[in-house]
C-alpha cells in the first residue's frame, strides 16, 4: 500500500508540526503516487484549517507503520 505523508505545521505556532497520512488505493505505485497526491492537498487543507503543508512524500507500507 502507498500512503501520502503530509508534514504540516500550525499557522499560529509554526514550531508545532505533525505528520498526517492519507492511504491511496492498492493499485497505486510510488511513481503514480506523485501524480495522484496533489489533488488530495486541497481537500486536506479544507479539512484542517489553521495548518500549513510544509512538505509531503509518498511512502510504501502500512499507514500505521509510517
Q: What is the mean pLDDT of residues 50-61?
A: 93
pLDDT at 13: 97
Is residue 54 assigned to a domain?
yes
Domain hosting 15: range is: 2-59
Based on its alpha-carbon atoms, the radius of gyration of the chain, rounded to whole angstroms, reads 12
pLDDT at 50: 97
Tens of pLDDT along 10-55? 999 999 999 999 988 778 888 888 888 999 999 999 999 999 999 9
Is residue 65 assigned to a domain?
no
pTM value > 0.95:
no
Who contacts 40 (Cβ-Cβ below 8 Å, separation ≥6)?
4, 22
Is residue 34 assigned to a domain?
yes
For residue 65, pLDDT beyond 70: no
Residue 19 CA to chain centroid, in angstroms? 7
Total domains in the chain come to 1
Is residue 24 assigned to a domain?
yes
pLDDT at 64: 57
**Residue 50, number of CB atoms within 10 A of its CB:** 9
Amino acid at each position: 500500500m502507498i500512503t501520502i505523508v503530509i508534514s504540516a505545521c500550525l499557522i499560529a505556532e509554526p514550531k508545532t508540526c505533525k505528520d498526517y497520512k492519507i492511504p491511496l488505493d492498492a493499485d497505486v505505485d510510488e511513481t503514480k503516487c506523485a501524480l495522484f497526491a496533489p489533488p488530495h492537498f486541497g481537500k486536506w487543507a479544507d479539512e484542517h484549517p489553521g495548518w500549513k503543508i510544509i512538505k509531503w512524500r509518498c511512502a510504501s507500507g502500512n499507514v500505521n507503520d509510517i
